[in-house]
Structure formats: structure tokens, C-alpha cells
Amino acid sequence: MAFRKPKPLGPTVTYSDFTTSFARNVVSNDLIRLTDINAVKRSIKNLVVTNKNERLLNPRIGAGLIALLFEPMGPIVTLDIKESIADTLREFEPRIDKLSIDVTPDYDNNQYYVTIVFTMAAVPDTGTVEFTLNRIR
């Protein structure tokens, strides 16, 4: 006797975005997609590194961290960076359910290490995004 495999209640891919390189699949010639947690990770990084007024159709998008990176390093600037990232993600990334941000200054190299841990409402998965913020002259 064969058992029928139950159909999933919803789609298996909840979120999807294109890669920033717009690379193509060599077999189907379609654009390569990022799905679910990887799509949200890419979106988080894009929001954090975008400055305010950089996007023409929506100048409010972005964390605006460039101005903070040229301030003297210290605990107040570190807290401002953390709050700016949190405010931006709460406003422009509705797929995030819970959010934890850690910003660690590296005084010797004039940079900040940022770790963002998040959970998504629709997908029971936890994601981590880590990157370094530094000044570019």
C-alpha cells in the first residue's frame, strides 16, 4: 500500500530577491535568486550601507552611517550607530520579527564590527549578518 505525500500548506519559498550582481543561471538563463533567509540578509546589508538621500525615489531609506563614521570613536558614537541600524531595520524591513544588534569598536584600526542576529516571522529560522564598517577616504 502506497502512502501519498501530503502537499505543503504554503509555498516552500517565502521570500526571494535577485542577487546584486544580476548573475544568470547557466542552464535556464534566468536571474539567480536569493531565497528566504539569504534574501533578508542581503536586504539588511543593503539598508545598512545605504545613506539617506541616496535613493532617488525614496530618500528616507538608509541608515546614514557615513556621517557617524567620521565622528571620533567612542561609546556614544557606537550607541548612535546601533540605534541608527535598529531604527532603519524596524522601519524598512518588515520581514524581521526579533532583532539583536552588537556594534564593537576597533580603536586600533578605526572601524566597527557589526553583528546583527534576527528571526523572521514567516520562516522559523535565525539569521546572522556580520560586517565591518570603516571610513573610506
Lowest-confidence segment of 3-12, 71-80, 118-127 by average pLDDT: 3-12
In this predicted model, what pLDDT tens digit does every residue of 29-87 receive, in sequence order? 777 777 778 888 888 998 998 888 888 888 888 888 988 999 999 999 999 999 999 99
Number of domains in the chain: 1
Q: Is residue 29 part of a domain?
A: no
* Domain extent at residue 88: 36-134
Position 78 in a domain:
yes
Task: Please give the model's pTM, rounded to 2 decimal places.
Answer: 0.79
- Residue of 9 and 129 predicted with greater confidence: 129
CATH number of the domain where residue 59 is located: 3.10.450.40
Give the number of other Cβ atoms within 10 Å of residue 120's Cβ: 20
- Extract the runs of DSSP E, i.e. beta strands, from the chain: 16-18, 33-35, 96-106, 111-120, 126-134
Q: How confident is the model at residue 4 (pLDDT cuts 50, 70, 90)?
A: low
In a domain, 26, yes or no: no
